[in-house]
Amino acid sequence: ISTESDVVRVSLQTFSETIPWTLDSTDGEKTIYVQYQDRANNLSEVYQTTVVLDTTPPQIKSAGWKEESGSQKLEFEVTDTLSGMDAMQISKDLSFAEALWMPFSSSLNSPQFASNQVVYVHFRDRAGNISTILSIQPLNRLFLPFVVR
């Protein structure tokens, strides 16, 4: 087993269905190569597979309330360049005690959350990394008196 395509230079290991393997700690795509040798010392072809190491949580670019045609919705701009976005949790409570993970969406129109309250949100990527918690402040509204003369 090697991360270099020239596996001939690597010392042989006893066959096992699972072998612990440590990748270098840099996030990104990794190619792993393996070659087998039977009891008669015949070598197989070199097999390879590619895996992605992702230890970086999603990055929240922006999040907030948006009002359109009298209705409010939450909008999110979140990125994860390696494994992609998976899910999000939204809660009125910072502990997320009652919140369930839901599929990621860039916007949410949900009657259980009102634009006049603080809500908390965090996001999970497909590798299981979870973003920091973001508090979304209430939508500020300014009401002016209506005067008829």
User: Which pLDDT tens digit goes with each residue over 31-49?
Assistant: 989 888 888 989 889 899 9
- Whole-number pLDDT of residue 17: 87
The mean predicted confidence, pLDDT, of the chain is: 86
- Whole-number pLDDT of residue 104: 96
Percent of the chain at pLDDT exceeding 90 = 43
Model confidence at 111: pLDDT above 90: no
Q: Which residues pair with 50 in a beta bridge?
A: 31
Reported confidence tier of residue 128, pLDDT bands at 50, 70, 90: very high
Reported confidence tier of residue 143, pLDDT bands at 50, 70, 90: low
Query: CA-to-CA distance for 101 and 104, rounded, in angstroms?
Result: 9
Reported confidence tier of residue 21, pLDDT bands at 50, 70, 90: confident
Q: Which residue has the higher pLDDT, 119 or 123?
A: 123
Query: CA-to-CA distance for 62 and 120, rounded, in angstroms?
Result: 13
Tell me the mean pLDDT in the region 140-145: 58
Query: CA-to-CA distance for 130 and 80, rounded, in angstroms?
Result: 11
From residue 38, give the alpha-carbon distance in Å to each of 14, 45, 47, 80, 87: 11, 12, 15, 43, 45
Q: Enter the pTM of the model.
A: 0.74
